[in-house]
């Protein structure tokens, strides 16, 4: 089954404690992105990757890091989380092929930073 998986699904942490949210896709997609969802703001792109070892900032990259060492994985790293990073996070993957630009979203990770 084609899917994007994220772990953990729910996370409560404290300010400053480093955490990683994993994302994995099994569709051999070149493109992967991280989004955060906040009430009244919709989803906003944090970082994206267009291939292995190719990553770039999205619209709201401050406080986040990513890596893309393997095609299927795209972890999101919060080195020193702060309360304003409390949000719902989605990983997405897609392909650059024509008419393939549909993003497949993971189930989401709900993060609370105390």
Using CB under 8 A, list all residues that contact another protein.
31-33, 35, 40-45, 48-50, 56, 58, 90, 92, 94, 96, 99, 101-103, 105-108
Residue nearer to another protein on the CB measure, 58 or 63: 58
Asked if 66 and 60 touch (Cβ cutoff 8 Å), the reply is no
Residue nearer to another protein on the CB measure, 15 or 35: 35
CA gap 111, 109 in Å, rounded: 6
* Residue from 48, 23, 4, 30 nearest 100 by CA: 30
Q: What's the min distance (Å) between Cβ of 15 and another protein?
A: 25
Residue nearer to another protein on the CB measure, 61 or 63: 61
CA gap 61, 63 in Å, rounded: 6
Q: What's the min distance (Å) between Cβ of 9 and another protein?
A: 10
Q: What's the min distance (Å) between Cβ of 14 and another protein?
A: 24
DSSP state of 36: E
Which residue stretches of the chain are H helix?
A: none
Residue nearer to another protein on the CB measure, 27 or 41: 41
């Amino acid at each position: 089954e084609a899917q994007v998986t994220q772990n953990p699904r729910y996370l409560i942490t404290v300010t400053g404690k480093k955490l990683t949210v994993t994302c994995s896709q099994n569709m051999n997609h070149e493109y992967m992105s991280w989004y955060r969802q906040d009430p009244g703001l919709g989803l906003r792109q944090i970082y994206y990757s267009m291939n292995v070892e190719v990553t770039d900032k999205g619209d709201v990259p401050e406080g986040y890091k990513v890596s893309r060492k393997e095609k299927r994985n795209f972890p999101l790293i919060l080195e020193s989380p702060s309360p304003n990073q409390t949000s719902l996070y989605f990983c997405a993957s897609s392909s650059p092929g024509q008419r393939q630009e549909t993003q497949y979203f993971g189930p989401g990770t709900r993060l609370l930073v105390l």
